Every structure is written in C-alpha cells, then in structure tokens.
Amino acid sequence: MSGALKEVRNRIKSVQSTQQITKAMKMVSAAKLRRAQDAITQMRPYAQKLQEMLGNIVSSSEGDVKMDLAVERPVEQVLIILVTSDRGLCGGYNSNLIKLAKQLIREKYATQHQKGQVRILPIGKKGYEHFTKAGFKLVDQYWDTFQNLSFERVQAAATYAMQAFANKEVDAVEIIYSEFKNAASQRFIAEPFLPVPKVTNQTSKKKSDFIFEPDQATLIAELMPKILNTQLYKAVLDANASEHGARMTAMDKASDNANELLKSLKISYNRARQAAITTELTEIVSGAAALQG
C-alpha cells in the first residue's frame, strides 16, 4: 500500500507543479494581451476607414486610371498569407487557422492546387512548420515576423505580395487570420487582399465625388500600397491579440482542470492512507491476539 501512496503523492506534486506553470502563463498572457488589445483597438478604426476609402476609389475610378493592383484576371497562381502564432498552448487557435486555410484551398482553389499553383506565405512559426511538413510551396522569408513585430516587418511581406501581383507572378492573394473580439472569442477570417476588392454595398452604385490633389493617377499610385500595408498590419495586430487571448483562456481552463484533478487525487490519497492505517491496525490487533493466545 505504501507504493500506491507514494505514486499518488508524486502525481499530486506533478499536477501542482503544472498548475503553477499554467497560472504563470495565464498572467504573462494577460499582461501581453492588454498591450496587444490597445494596439489593435487604436489601429482598427484607422485601417477600416482607409480600406473603405480604397474600395470607393477603386469602384469610382474604374476605367479612368490604370490601377495594377486592382486588375481582375483569370486566377492561375494563388498566394495565401496565413497568420498563425510562433508558440502553442493556446487551445485550438492555430489548428483552426490551418483548417480554414485548407478549407479555402479545397473549396475555392482546388484546380490551382492540383496544378501546384498555390503558395503559402506564413507569418508565424506554427503555420510555417505545418505547411512545410505538408509539402506545400512556401514563401519562407517572413514566418519569423512575430519575433520582432513592427510595421516595417509586416510591410516587407505586403510589398512582396504586391510586387508578385503587379508582375503577374500571382493572380490572387488572400489573407487568413484571426480577428480579435475579446479575450475568450476570436473570429477566423479569410479575406481577399489582391486584387483590391471593390465596394459592393448600395452606396457604391453612385460614383463617389472625390477631388484629387495631385492628379488621380499619382495619388492612387502613392496611396494604394500604403493602405494595403496598413491592411496587412491590422490583420497581424488582430492575430497577435487573438493569440494572447486564446492562450490566456486556455491556461485558465488548464488551471481549473488541475484543481479538479487535485481534488480527485487528494480523495484517492486519503482513501489509500485510511486503507493503509486500517490494514496496519488489523495486523497489530491480530499480532496481539496471537501473542495472547
């Protein structure tokens, strides 16, 4: 019985050690989440307004000026920008993003994939590792962006995608990322990046009355890349906040599960200890009775 007691004691110590780690990771993620949440909250209205402006300009300027990044053409080559995290222990965060990427390829770009014409540009180590093992064609220069996250690092990835599209190396670019809602909730999104999507709501049917200064072509050529850089940066900030929220939630649940397991183990330990004491008492009583006999 002492062997069983020792095994339960060791399990209790192991669970307590794990619980200390999960609680510490939850606190670290909570601190990082506050900073990441502030960054995306401040960035989102600006990025959304710029994207709306870009869509309106593309819709209202159709045929008036050449816009290489808004040209729709038959889709042969596809580039998918997949934003995952560098580390795990964040629940189903990365697996859901990878699943969405595969679903997008299967439902929208199956023909291109069969011809080997789908490439993945991973931002984040988990997506890079998964699609490397899966044998996909990768653009592998930007997967470590989160190791030193900055606008310039994200801009480099956006510039690669824009140049590839302008040079007709790819015909469509999509972004897959997680939109941050709150610490316990994210929305996994696949959205078009290039060609620049047009505004499709009712107001877009009426041509917007823009006054361009300087001329329209110069302004669009300057403005469009900057807005697209901002759009990708916003997606990466969303993903960064979503990752920390997912990890904080996962570690909180892990700590709760450890509590439940500790309760169960302590009950098992007490039962085993009581059984051992009962056995020892029985042996003592039996021994005493034998001596008296």
Positions marked active-site? 90
User: Phi/psi class of residue 95: alpha, beta or left (left: φ > 0; alpha: ψ in -120 to 50)?
Assistant: alpha
Tokens of 147: 């190791």
Q: Identify whether the C-beta of residue 97 lies closer than 8 Å to the C-beta of residue 136.
A: no
3-state helix, strand, coil in the chain (%, to 5): 65, 10, 20
The two three-digit tokens of residue 123, written as one number? 């931002």
Q: CA dist 208 to 57, 62, 90, 132, Å?
A: 8, 11, 44, 45
Q: Of 189, 190, 183, 191, which is closest to residue 243 (Cα–Cα)?
A: 183
Burial class of 188 by CB neighbour count within 10 A (0 to 12, 13 to 18, 19+): middle
